[in-house]
Every structure is written in C-alpha cells, then in structure tokens.
Amino acid sequence: MDRLFALKVFCVAAETLQFKETAHRLAISAPVITRSIAELERALGEPLFIRSTRQIVLSDFGRQFLPKAQGLLDESEQLFQNQGNDDDMHGVVRIAMPILPFNDEILAELLTALEPYPHITLDWQVGGKRLNVVEKQIDVGIRIGFAADSNLIARKIGQMHEKIVIAPKLLAKLDEPADFADLKKRYPLAALADENTGKAWAWHINDDEQILANPQFYSQEMDAVLTAVKSGRVVGHILDCVCADALAKGEVVELFAKVPKIQWPVYLYRQQQTTVPARVKFVFEELARIVGQRFIQAA
C-alpha cells in the first residue's frame, strides 16, 4: 500500500464525504478510492468512516486522525520543496472574497502574514458576483452556500445563517407577525439583489419556509439592507455576521428567533492543479487560519 497516496485519498474523502466525488477530484476510479480507504483502515485497525446506504460520515477515530494525516501530507510536500529558492514566493495571488463585515480585518491580518514576502502581489477582489475562476485566473477565494465545483479544491472553514430583523420603532408600530404569511402580507420587506441577474433573492428560511418578497428596498450590498432596516423602513433577512453588532446595540431585534434557519457552509477554495505555487498554498493556508478563527470566535 502506498501510504502517502492512501492518506491523500482519505483527506480528500473527508472533505467531500463522497467516494465518487473523491475519485473525480483525484482523476482515478471509484474502486481505487474504496480499496485505498479499506487498506488504510486495515493498517490502522480502526474504521475511518461510518457508511450507510445513503451517506458516509467520519467516525470518531477518523475525525481525530484527519489533522494528523493532513500534517503528514504537508510535511511530505515540504520535503520536495527547494527551500533555498524563493522564486515561488514572487508573483501575483488573485483572491476573490464575498462581501463580509470583517473583510478589512482579514486583509490586514493577511498582509501582516505576508510581510516576510514583499515580492508577492495581492489582487484582492471583493463582490457578490459568481466569477469564472479559470477565466478570471482566481487563485484563492471564499464562497458561501452549497454550490459545488468539481474543478476546485474546497475546504469548509465555517458556516453562517440569516436572521430576520426589524427596527424597534417599526415593531412597535406593526407588532410581531403571527406567522410568515402575516409577515409577507403586512410588513414592508427588503431583499438582497443577485449581482449575476439583478433580481431580488428569495428569503430561504429553511427547507419548509421560503418567502419571495416584493421588496420595498433591495440592494446588492447587505450593509445597505441593514441600514434600511435600522431606519425602520423595512424588515430584512440578513446574515448573522452582518447584523450581530446592530442586534447587540438594540438597533434591531430578531423575529422568529426560535424557527430553525438554513446553515450556509463557508468554503475556502483554490483551483485543482497538478502544480500549485508555494505562494498560493501559503495564502490559502493563512486565509484558512484567519477566516476560520473568526467563525470559531463567533460560535
């Protein structure tokens, strides 16, 4: 058994939780994936995954073993890197970021981490539009949501959800809505505009509830939606990280707080390439640390 290869298979499978997708990413057959995992489990004497007819999940042992496997793979890659050659730490790294309230803080921390590498040039692109990663030559980026792209290496670094928020003065005027039908009927609503189409996004509350608003305010910027909500003009459906400060200050209050909300995964991604420059790997890992820490603090 090629143990390094088996570790790589395991790490990718732990990301995808789908052997078929793992095979696609590694450009090998699904039986090879199954065989490699089985051989690794025999060598370790423990199951790495719990399998059912519908899904696979990491076992307790698998969750404990994953960071060790990732560390061993990183060490093996470093053995083959020419540490005396700084050429890979020269050049452009293009980063695509969604609009997040802590983007400036993320950038400041990343620039601090890059101080030893003055010849790395960052192309920092912020927006809500879904970019063609290959066409725009994006090296590293963050996406929110379930949309998958088999051409990308993706790592989940957190999750977020929306809250339904209203200004106290509008709540005092209209009282609390009885249900979602009442909310849609009696309350002025805001919506986020899709940068790709220009149309208003629906409010996806959970698997059972969805509101297609006829908005009295909409914008491509969620901060602008929050401003409209705080003014008492509309009710908004806003990401928790965006409205957290306003909630803490009492500028807005949450409606339907006990209703379960969709948890949107947040992924850090890079292109799936045979050779990845060291500068791209470095920025990828630093962003994983910097952004991931914010979700840990918010939990």
Domain co-membership, 148 together with 287? yes
The verdict on 154 and 291 lying in the same domain is yes
Q: For the segment 164-180, what is each residue's pLDDT rounded down to a tens digit?
A: 999 999 999 999 999 99
284 and 238 share a domain? no
Q: What is the pLDDT of residues 258-270, one digit of tens each?
A: 999 999 999 999 8
Whether residue 155 sits in one domain with residue 167: no
> Is 194 found in the same domain as 115?
no
* Higher pLDDT pick, 88 / 68: 68
Average pLDDT, the chain: 88
% of the chain residues with pLDDT over 90: 57
pLDDT in tens, 192-246: 988 778 788 899 999 899 998 789 999 988 899 999 999 999 999 999 989 999 9
Rounded mean pLDDT, 100-106: 88
Are 156 and 285 members of one domain?
Answer: yes
Residues 136 and 199 in one domain: no
Q: Same structural domain for residues 180 and 104?
A: no
Indicate the residue among 45, 79, 113 that finishes a domain: 79
Q: Are residues 68 and 103 in the same domain?
A: no
Q: Are residues 144 and 292 in the same domain?
A: yes
Confidence at residue 84, expressed as pLDDT on a 0 to 100 scale: 45
pTM of the predicted model as reported, rounded to 2 decimal places: 0.66
As for how many domains the chain has, the answer is 3
The CATH number given to whatever domain includes residue 72 is 1.10.10.10
The boundaries of the domain holding residue 278 are 88-160+264-298
In single-letter form, the type of residue at position 105 comes to E
CATH number of the domain where residue 122 is located: 3.40.190.10
Same domain, residue pair 168 and 248: yes
139 and 61 co-located in one domain: no
Tens-digit pLDDT profile for residues 68-83: 999 888 888 777 655 5
